[in-house]
Structure formats: structure tokens, C-alpha cells
Amino acid sequence: MKKFNISQFLILIFLITFVIFPLGRMLLMVKWANFGTLIASSSFKEALINSLLVTSIATIIAILIAYILAFTLNRTNIKHRAVLKLLLTIPMLIPSISHGLGLINLFGTNGLISKGLGFNIIGMPGIIIGSILYSFPIAFLMFDDGFKYIDNNLYDTAHVLGLNKWQTFKTVTFTYLKKPFLSAVFATFTMIFTDYGVPLAVGGKFITLPVFLYKEVIGLLDFSKGTMIGLFLLIPALISFLFDTFFKDYAHNNLKSKDYVIKENKLRDNVLKILTYTLITFVFILLGSFIYYAFINSPVLDHSFSLKHFDYILANNVGKYLFNSLLIALLVSILGTIIAYFCAYETARVKGKFSRLLHILAIVSLAIPGIVLGLSFTTSFKSTFLHNTFTILIIVNIIHFFASPYLMAYNALQKINPNFEMVAKTCNISLFKIIKDVIIPNTKITIREMFSYFFVNSMITISAVTFLYNTKTMPLALLINNYEGNLMLGEAAIISLIILIINIILKLGIYLINRYESRKDAYEYNI
């Protein structure tokens, strides 16, 4: 097979044009003479210290919660694991700013809970709690996946050798979870450090670095200063990217030989069950606050039933913004899945130096926070026909979320017999036919997950598109920012619910399709 082909060339041009070029152009526009002034300013130092403080605290707590949840679902006798896993990932289906909005509804100055108790969590406490809610599901999924690859025979060996629980944890469990643990730490830290949704909603006067960047660019249109601030947001993401690229996970090279035997321990099971259900209950109380605020007249003066918030958003043509989001999400999902899948095919199934180059470029977006990517697109394309169009919003979302679906496909394609193409060539069968009839059917579940990932994240993102829209192309999620900023909590709550419902419908639909096909395949196999 050729080491370089037209498909690789087109993918290479696409990634260079919309990844390397925008970042390089952004850096060239920086007025480096002002860099010293920026880092010496008290406002920048305050924002940086604030970001490091809340990110560190929230990361530690989120990682601890995520590990406990993953342990509960994999090492206890808790029931309904699949349902619980689904419920624990629901926070991923709404924008980060919605988590801040929910906390305002419950614990703000006029919150449902805090008003009677005489306190609120606006500021640092609110950012920490909101960041934990926003980030723990990602870390939980990493730990949950890590548990599935542990060689459980080693627990028997540890028992025979007389190792106690702590020694067994260090020598067996942590050995296999070291890569997922470090990946979760880096990913969680990066997510929180670069997010401006939660701090913007619930931070008050406690300014973090992403909010500082947002205000400098949106308020003062200082793109040079915004770029310099963005460089600091790149640092943790770059470290995370380098770690995931070069840290080899030896544990995953082993196959799990048997199921883990869960010992009876009612105290352990009951305590962890209570903790799990408490967290899920809190998440649903937060989501329930959206429903409550959507149907009351005023959160401050009048809590009587009212539909005025629905009347307002309907009168202000919310359908247009919903259409914009659905159009963007669908096109991002379709085009992103196609591009990411065939990029993965070229890197996983075709060997050569160009394949390795494509692989590096394909995962570079892991190191680019959404707000920095959006800023780079603005500085690079603001004078072109792409600016303020649906096209640029679709492209920036594809690039922003490209790496994870690409890696899904890359890992799935590597597991397929590498000799299919060679056999096909020998038998004079076209490569297209092998891909259509063999490769794609064997990775259809992965393709659906890729589609789902692109769709959900395109519906909830606000960071990457913040600088790239106009009134005609504005996505629905950005209305939450506008309404919350004007204290229109009922309207913001309705938008959050709409996005949540759409994403749940999409995830449920894909789950049902996968379940139907799984049962169909099992039935045909038995026949």
C-alpha cells in the first residue's frame, strides 16, 4: 500500500489550515513588547492566582469523587450499575455555565436554599462547587474504564503472598490505574483551569484567568492581550497533551483474564451507595431548579406559577437559535465523524511517516482550550468570508472536539485484523468495498459514539464559538450567557433544559440502537 495518498494529503491540508495556521497567526499578531506589562499588572496576577487556587482545590475533590464513584460501580455489590453510570454522566449534557446558573438558583443571593439560611456561595465557593460538578463525570469515566483492564488474577496472587489491602492497592490496583489517574488529573485540571462558563455565572468579583481573557477581548477588543493571556491557558493543556502522547500505559497491554470477585461487605456497600445516591440527588435538585425557575413569575418577589418566561423566549425567536444549534451540531457530527474516522483509518491502518505526522496533528487539539481556539480563529479569519458564518462555527467545533472521536476510531481500527486490506488486494477486491463491507460494520458502535460526542459537545459549547458568531448564526447555548448576565434566570433555565432534553434524546436514541443491534446479533448467532 502506498505510504502517501490523496486522502492523507487532503486531511493534512485540513489540519494545517485550521489547527496550525490559526495558532501561528495568533502568535504573530501579539505585541510582545507589552508582555512584561501584562504579567506585572495586579489584575493579571490576581486572576492567575485565583485560577490556580480554585482549579487545584476543585481538581483534588473532583478526582476523589470520581474514584469513589468508579470504585463503587466496579468493586461493590451496588445494583443498577448501568443506570447509575448514565445518571452520573448527565452533568456532561449541559453547558458549564448552566452548572453555575443552577448553583445561583439554589445558593445565590435569592437562592431557594440559601435565602432562608442567610448566605450565598457567589465567588470562590461557587466556582469550586460548579467546577466539580462540571468535571467529575470525565474523570469518573476514565477511572471506570481503567478498572475494566485490571488483571484480576493478580489479586489472587497478592492474597497468596499475604499482602494487606493497602499493599494490594499499591502493587495491583494503582499499577493499572496509574495512567488513568494521571490522565484524569491532567484532564480535570485543564478543564477547570480553562473554563469560563462556571466563573462567569457564579464567580461574582472573584475573577479567574479565562474570565479575564473574555472581558479583555469582548469588552476591550484587545486581541493581542487576549492572546498573551491565552498562552497561560495553553500550559496545563500542553502538559496534558504531552503526557497522553508519550506516557506509555503498559497495564492496558494485558487482557483481563477473569471477573473480579466482589466480597460481601454490607457496611462498605451501604456507605458508598449513600454517597452515590446523594450526589445523584444533588445533581437532580440542581436540574430541578431549572424547572422551578422556568415556571415562576419572579425568583425574588413572586414565586407564583407563570409562563411569562416561555412567552418571552418565544417572542424573541428562540426557535431561530435552536435551529442554528441543531444545524451546527448535526453538520459537525456528520462531517466531523467522517473526517475523524478516515483520518484514523489513514493513521491506524496505513503505515508510514505521513501517518505518524497525521496522528500528531490529529491530537494537537487536545492541547488547545476552546476559548484559545476561538480566539485564534478570530484573529486568523476575521477579515475573510468565513467570519460570522455557519461554516466557521462548524469548522471550529470540528477542530475543538476532533481529538477524542479520532482516538475512539483509532483505537477501534487498530483492533481489527491488519491483514484485511492485503487479502483484498490479493483477491482483487477494491479497498472501498473492504472499508464499506468489513471495516465500517465492525466499528459501527464506535462511529455512533463519535457522532454522539460531536453532537453533544457542539450543543453545549460556548467557549470556542464566543468570538465567532453574529445575531444570525448565534447558537442556543450562548443565550444562557446573555440571559444570566441580565438576571433573567427563568429564561436561562429554559434554555438549559432545552439543551439537556435534546442531548438526552440523542444519547437515549443511540443507546437503544446499540441495544437493538446487540440483541439482533445475539439472536442471529444463536440461530
Contacts of residue 281, Cβ cutoff 8 Å, sequence gap at least 6: none
**List of E strands, 105-154:** none
pLDDT of residue 363: 87
Lowest mean pLDDT across 16-20, 33-37, 85-89, 185-189: 33-37
H/E run at residue 74: helix 42-75
Mean pLDDT of 145-162: 76
CA distances from 152 to 69, 142, 149, 428, 466 (A): 19, 18, 9, 45, 47
Of 468 and 178, more confident? 468
Specify the pLDDT at position 353.
Answer: 73
- How remote is the C-alpha of 7 from its chain's centroid? 28
Triad 359, 364, 365: Cα angle to 5°: 125
Q: Is 352 left (phi over 0), alpha (psi -120 to 50) or beta?
A: left
Q: Return the closest-CA partner of residue 398 out of 444, 458, 324.
A: 458
45-294 domain in CATH 1.10.8.870?
no
What type of residue sits at position 112? L
| DSSP result, 211-277 | HHHHIIIIIH--HHHHHHHHHHHHHHHHHHHHHHHH---GGGGSPP-S---PPP-HHHHHHHHHHHH
- From the list 230, 138, 201, the residue with the least C-alpha distance to 477 is 201
For the chain, the first-to-last Cα distance in angstroms comes to 38
Q: What are phi and psi of 231, to 5 degrees?
A: -60, -35
Instruction: Report the pLDDT value the prediction gives residue 524, as an integer from 0 to 100.
Output: 63
Give the tens place of pLDDT for each residue, 353-401.
778 888 888 888 887 889 999 999 998 998 899 988 999 999 999 999 9
Task: Output the pLDDT for position 453.
Answer: 95
Check for a shared fold between 1-30+301-527 and 45-294.
yes
- Which distant-in-sequence residues (6+ apart) come within 8 Å of 325 by Cβ? 458, 459, 475, 476, 477, 499
Distance from C-alpha of 440 to C-alpha of 401, rounded to nearest angstrom: 21
| Residue whose C-alpha is closest to residue 377's, from 17, 124, 10, 11 | 17
Correct CATH for 1-30+301-527 of 1.10.8.350, 3.90.1150.10, 1.10.3720.10, 3.40.50.10190: 1.10.3720.10
Looking at residues 252-271, what average pLDDT do you find?
Answer: 74
For the stretch 292-331, pLDDT in tens is 999 998 877 778 889 999 999 999 999 999 999 999 999 9
Q: Angle at CA 181, nearest 5°, toward 175 and 185?
A: 155
Could you tell me how far CA 369 lies from the centroid of its own chain? 11
d(CA 471, CA 329): 18
- Determine contact, residues 286/106, Cβ cutoff 8 Å: yes
Q: Report the distance separating Cα 285 and Cα 102, nearest Å.
A: 9
The residues that bridge with 296 in the sheet, in sequence order, are 305
pLDDT at 450: 95
Domains of the chain, by residue range, sit at: 1-30+301-527, 45-294
Side chain identity at residue 90, one-letter code: I
Contact 400, 494 (CB under 8 A): no
pLDDT-derived band at 525, boundaries 50, 70, 90: low
Distance in angstroms (rounded) separating the CA atoms of residues 247 and 239: 11
Q: Side chain identity at 489, as an amino acid letter?
A: L
User: Which pLDDT score is estimated for 526?
Assistant: 62
Query: Which tens digit of pLDDT belongs to each residue from 407-436?
Result: 899 988 988 877 777 777 788 787 788 888
How far, in Å, CA of 24 to CA of 60, rounded?
34
- CA gap 67, 65 in Å, rounded: 6
pLDDT score for 253:
47
Average pLDDT over residues 93-106: 94
Please determine, for residue 251, whether its predicted confidence score (pLDDT) is greater than 60.
no
Check pLDDT > 80 for residue 158: no
Phi-psi region for residue 187, left (φ > 0), alpha (ψ -120 to 50) or beta? alpha
Dist CA 325 CA 475 (whole Å): 5
pLDDT at 1: 44
Mean of pLDDT values over 80-109 = 93
How far is residue 134's CA from residue 92's CA, in Å, rounded to a whole number?
7
Q: What are phi and psi of 296, to 5 degrees?
A: -110, 160
The per-residue pLDDT for 301 is: 75
- How far apart CA 338 and CA 336 sit, in angstroms, is 5
Comparing 80-94, 198-212, 251-265, 411-425, which segment has the lowest mean pLDDT? 251-265
